Amino acid sequence: MSFGQPEGYDGQARPRLLGRRPRSQVVAAAVCLVLGAGLIGGAATGSWLAGDSGETGTGGGFASAAALWHSVPVDELFPPTLEGKGAGPGGADRTWTRIAVAPDSGCKGAFDPLLRKVLGTVGCERLLRATYTDATQSHVTTVGLLFTKADAAGMTALAARFDKERLAGRSDLMPLPYAAKGTAAEDFGARQRAAWVISVLTDAPVVVYAVSGWADGRTVAEPQSAEAAMESGATGPVAQAGLGHEARGLADRVERGLRGHVRTATERPS
């Protein structure tokens, strides 16, 4: 049976000072130490330069979006004029002019009972709305931004429900318009709703919607969702007038603007 040499002796069993190492081992250890420190320091520097705290940025962006309703001017959320290049039927260009902005408020009286019940699962922090007209003042469209009280999981659940149950295409879940007196939208009421779109965001606590109709106050017997009205070969007055394109085009551009502000708020140094 053999045992290893006790520490304190060299290979020939001669005494040596504890802690002393051959020169080659000392040099190798020093090199490893320097390289290790460099790798750690480089990783930390990269993290600082990237602004990465080790956590995902999803939470920060979500929280930033929740505060936009009171931190971003209305002219930036709902610009006075919006250009819709290729947004009309057949890829025609569109220009929309804002004619009214509703005071920011809660959701009381802002939705029909059934839609209010569906959206109630995420709560209502604030509702912002504006109404636009096209260049010919033939059509009017209300765009809304519902800032909810939900977290990311709540918004994801609502989006999944809209998708699974096809709620965005149900005419009994149409949003209400904002009809402002003294404007082209004065007669834009519940019976004048022609086309609509609802988009539940999952990266922000916001529901974006739009509803369009004719500016002359005519009633609509068979409204269509924007998706249905924009289908190739879609018939009927709503589709033929391009009112689905009006709702979709405005909702998309307001949503893009909102996402731009979310990115800016997220990237802004603290």
Angle at 197 between CA 191 and CA 135, to 5 degrees: 75
Q: What is the pLDDT of residue 63?
A: 83
Report the number of distinct structural domains present in the chain.
Answer: 1
Model confidence pLDDT, tens digit, residues 149-202? 999 999 999 999 999 999 999 999 999 999 999 999 999 999 999 999 999 999
Tokens of 41: 């320091």
Instruction: Indicate whether 110 belongs to any domain.
Output: yes
Q: How many CB atoms sit inside 10 A of residue 19's CB?
A: 7
Q: Which domain holds residue 102?
A: 56-267
Instruction: Indicate whether 9 belongs to any domain.
Output: no
Instruction: Indicate whether 13 belongs to any domain.
Output: no
Instruction: Indicate whether 30 belongs to any domain.
Output: no
Tokens of 30: 């020093």
Is 166 in a helix, a strand, or coil? Answer: coil
Instruction: Indicate whether 5 belongs to any domain.
Output: no
Is 248 in a helix, a strand, or coil? Answer: helix
Question: pTM for the full model?
Answer: 0.77
97, 81 Cβ separation under 8 angstroms: yes
Highest mean pLDDT range out of 18-32, 40-54, 113-127? Answer: 113-127
Residue 190 half-sphere exposure toward CB, CA atoms < 13 A: 9
Instruction: Indicate whether 31 belongs to any domain.
Output: no
Instruction: Indicate whether 21 belongs to any domain.
Output: no
